[in-house]
Structure 1
């Protein structure tokens, strides 16, 4: 694979970009971060596996910390020692997949029942009005 030099964003630049594009993500200690809340260990594992699949497909690997009812994803481009477009692009894809709620789209897919904890697994962000 060919290594290319990417722009490394300053903390202020990264904060500004996150505010516009990924409002639930934040900058801390040189990483962009997001904590996803889940309803159970099952949901936690599903988020970890989804993030793992996306990261492997992108060939860009996050740090992940997890507990019973949450997953924290941290992105930084290791070989550039900072936040680059790789991190923002993978964060957008992770956000798109983990926060996907097919029941809100009005199609044939109804989505996971959120009012029955036997089936609910992600605590979705509230839709913006």
Structure 2
């Protein structure tokens, strides 16, 4: 079920580095010391996404990786996106 703007803002309090993109996605930029660390992070995120069948939009720009989650079949942000974002936070800690 799609979350309301208020519900999204409340959930973002638990993920302070994530932003809301017009209630349609949650987004975070990660910075790495070098390109290959960012690629390693993306590989970890991709493996997790495949396991749970919930795939983010990933943009790689040298040492910056942007992750964006939305639940496409629901047309907005759901609890599934926040669960995935929390796992991505854990994965980032392992790489950084």
Report which of the two has the higher share of helix.
2
1:18 aligns with 2:3: no
Distance 1:32 1:12 in 2: 13
TM-score norm. by structure 2 comes to 0.91
Distance 1:10 1:63 in 2: 21
Q: Which segments of 5 or more consecutive residues in structure 2 lack a partner in the other structure? A: none
Distance 1:47 1:58 in 2: 17
Residue 68 of structure 1: CA displacement?
Answer: 0.7
**Equivalent residue number for residue 74 of structure 1:** 68
Aligned pair count?
95
**Deviation sequence 1:77-121 (CA, Å, 0-9, x none):** 000000011101111111112113xxxxxxxxxxxxxxxxxxxx7
Q: Greater Rg, structure 1 or structure 2?
A: 1
SS at match of 2:77: coil
**Equivalent residue number for residue 105 of structure 1:** none
- Contact persistence 1:44–1:67 (CA under 8 A): no
Superposed structure 1 runs of 4+ greater than 2 Å apart: none
Q: Return the structure number with greater relative CO, CA threshold 8 A, min gap 6.
A: 2
Alignment of 1:77-116 (within 5 A): 77-100=71-94
SS at match of 1:54: helix
**Equivalent residue number for residue 20 of structure 2:** 27
Residue 12 of structure 1: CA displacement?
Answer: 2.7
**Equivalent residue number for residue 47 of structure 1:** 41
